[in-house]
Structure 1
Amino acid sequence: MSKTPVDIWYTRCGGATASTLAIQKGWLAAEFDPAEVTLHSLRDSNERSVRESHYDHSITSMFREGGNIPPIWARARGADTVVLGITWVDEFQSVVVCADSAIRELSQLKGKRLAMPKYVGSTIDFQRGANFHGFANALSLVGLGRDDVEFVDVIIDRAAGDSPGPSGSAELAALATGRVDAVFLRQASGYKLAQDRQPHLRELIRLTDVPDPFKRINNGTPRPVTVHRQFLDSHPDLVVRYLSVLLRASDWAVANPDGAIAAIAEEDAKVGAAITAATFPKLATSLRPRLTADYVAGLEAQKNFLRDWGFLAADFDIQDWIVEGPLAEAERLVARAIAAE
């Protein structure tokens, strides 16, 4: 009597993930025989409650690779997930003012109004968390903190659809009308907005270029790979094989940097390969999941920031969230496969 195939759901966000390559190139589908595993793409579901698992991790058979705020938020609310691996993909992050502004340097943001998006209808307002952290990182470079500035809410109604829209567009509109004095931009969409409005904007700081990696921590950096503990306990072999596909995809990216940029650019036809390359300056060498001490420390720093700024329902121990065994076994599985070639 044949067994019923195991359902595996997968989701990724931000595009710049090994999962994106594995899905686009068909490597994930090739790894699992349909008789043993049925793969489901979360973003292809017609049910919003299913798609919302990308944020609340409600589907126990789901692998997620992407921005860290939703999985941290879900874990703090009690989702029994585990972190299987972490990547560190630096992305475009910038603080801008109007080109004719009297503000010429970061220290002059003291007492000024900083745009803060507030998404109505979001399961978790990760864009707001990302903007808070971006500004906090920038301000800390000149000894300023949250009490030294005024955060001005820019309301964005997300209730009508699933997409939060281009990061920074509403905030730049507020900047243009004089409601705020500075805007934080990030991701490829933010980079494109900055380029499109270049004559009208002045960049105060590009956090992407700051040497201290902890000043570059945000929703997209670092990015965890997560799954429910229940699924790991029930199907450890499938978890290892899933991770092995991500490892092979990241190896391919190192060997094919232009191909990796092109593949990631396909996730958003509006930006193209040139903007993708500018957004993620070290993309090809950054997609390999790891559990190194510095990556874990970065994830903990982000968790602590979200806790301290009121985004989490409760605190939790980051070490209890990390499970190292599956990634180590996946590394051995890939090494054996390479040796056998």
Structure 2
Amino acid sequence: MKRRNFLKLSLASAAIAAWSSSASAEAAPRRIRIGTQKGGFFPAVRQRHTVEDAFKSLGVEIDWIDFQFGPPLLEAINVGSVDFGYVGDSPPIFAQAAGARIRYVAAVKQNGNNQAIIVPKDSAIRTLADLKGKRIAFGKGSSAHNLLVAALEKAGLAWSDITPAPLAPADATAAFARGAVDAWSIWDPYLALAELKDNARVIAFDKDVHEANAFYIAGTDFVEKYPAQVARLNAVFASEGVWADSHHEEVASAQAEATGVDLEAIRRFVDRSNYRVVPVDAELTRTQQAVADRFARLGLIPKPVNVADIVWKWTPAS
């Protein structure tokens, strides 16, 4: 292992150990329920058993609960059936606007390559401006919803200039394949599959339109009752993120095995991903507020929200 990666892993391990002392002094739940989505590095984390091992000394069991995308995961956190989960930038905003009891507890700054607006290979659509008048699929309340809104703004188009087709990923996959929609705003691994299997053409990635981020979210009650355990979860996932950055093949193999998705598509997904976990600082809060303001201007959320109101301050151990 390269010295730089060894040092990063060592520092991450030290962070987990530092959180262990404070977490041990705090009451712990009997189990922690973690919500994940199809994709990412979570299958590898589950195989490595690192989260379970980090909480073993406290007698805490870990349950993993899978969701198709972010909005239902956050609804589960809101109603108390999930404690902690990972989602894109839009779901927390829709959830906060609906009064959900959630908190931002950590973030992952995305590279902007894992989500895009795509069209069929023979489509006449070449630019974002060409989306005018077209039927476009996206997951309502998902990060792909935000990408589509931001892309239309960049092209000088209004939301009313398109025919929105809010569809869950599985339904959108079928609609795109049979030509029932003209374009699709979607994330990996569905994006990679469409590129490789259908020769879908990318009109714009996230990075071409706006700054995209993802977040670890926890229920408000869980954060208030078990702050040291939330910090421990953050530290474990931060450590695993460092490991994942230098073990792409292991991450891809675990994900392909767990999901049944084509390994070539998963490799593409993993190679353009970032897994580094960081605190939700002032810069990330401002970026997320811009997303919230965009949805509020268009009337896509029932009321404006102040993102900073639900940010939990996490200071990683050094």
TM range (shorter): 0.7 to 0.9
Asked if structure 1 preserves the Cα contact closer than 8 Å seen for 2:192 and 2:266, the reply is: no
RMSD: 3.3
Aligned equivalents of 2:93 and 2:134: distance in 1? 28
**Structure 1 residues not aligned, in runs of 5+:** 45-50, 119-124, 157-163, 336-341
**Structure 1 partner of 2:285:** 296
Q: 2:117 is matched by which residue type in structure 1?
A: V
Asked if structure 1 preserves the Cα contact closer than 8 Å seen for 2:114 and 2:272, the reply is: no
**Structure 1 partner of 2:40:** 16
Distance 1:298 1:282, change over 3 A: farther
Select the residue among 145, 149, 158 that pairs with 1:136. 149
Give 1:55-70 correspondences, 5 Å limit.
Answer: 55-57=75-77, 58-59=79-80, 62-70=83-91
Give 1:113-262 correspondences, 5 Å limit.
Answer: 113-116=134-137, 125-126=140-141, 129-147=142-160, 149-153=161-165, 164-166=168-170, 168-173=172-177, 176=179, 180-198=181-199, 203=201, 205-208=203-206, 210=208, 215-217=209-211, 221-262=212-253
**Structure 2 partner of 1:81:** 102
**Structure 1 partner of 2:307:** 318
Q: 1:166 is matched by which residue type in structure 2?
A: A
Distance 1:114 1:259, change over 3 A: same
**Structure 2 partner of 1:271:** 262
Aligned equivalents of 2:240 and 2:159: distance in 1? 40
Distance 1:65 1:99, change over 3 A: closer
Residue correspondences, number: 287
Aligned equivalents of 1:318 and 1:225: distance in 2? 14
**Deviation, structure 1 residue 252:** 1.2
**Deviation, structure 1 residue 87:** 0.7
Q: Deviations along 1:4-47, whole A, 9 cap, x unmatched?
A: 95331111224325x55433310011011276323222349xxx
Aligned equivalents of 1:278 and 1:53: distance in 2? 25
Distance 1:22 1:289, change over 3 A: farther
Aligned equivalents of 1:206 and 1:109: distance in 2? 11
SS at match of 1:23: helix
Asked if structure 2 preserves the Cα contact closer than 8 Å seen for 1:16 and 1:287, the reply is: no
Q: Deviations along 1:109-147, whole A, 9 cap, x unmatched?
A: 33x2222358xxxxxx43xx5454333333334333324
SS at match of 2:170: coil
Instruction: Give the TM-score taking structure 1 as reference length.
Output: 0.70
Distance 1:227 1:108, change over 3 A: closer
Q: 2:230 is matched by which residue type in structure 1?
A: V
**Structure 2 residues not aligned, in runs of 5+:** 1-26
**Deviation, structure 1 residue 107:** 2.9
**Structure 2 partner of 1:308:** 297
Q: Deviations along 1:224-264, whole A, 9 cap, x unmatched?
A: 11212322222222222222111111121233333334344
Aligned equivalents of 2:146 and 2:28: distance in 1? 45
Aligned equivalents of 1:298 and 1:168: distance in 2? 28
Aligned equivalents of 1:298 and 1:208: distance in 2? 14
Distance 1:282 1:298, change over 3 A: farther
Q: Do structure 1's residue 32 and structure 2's residue 55 form an aligned pair?
A: yes
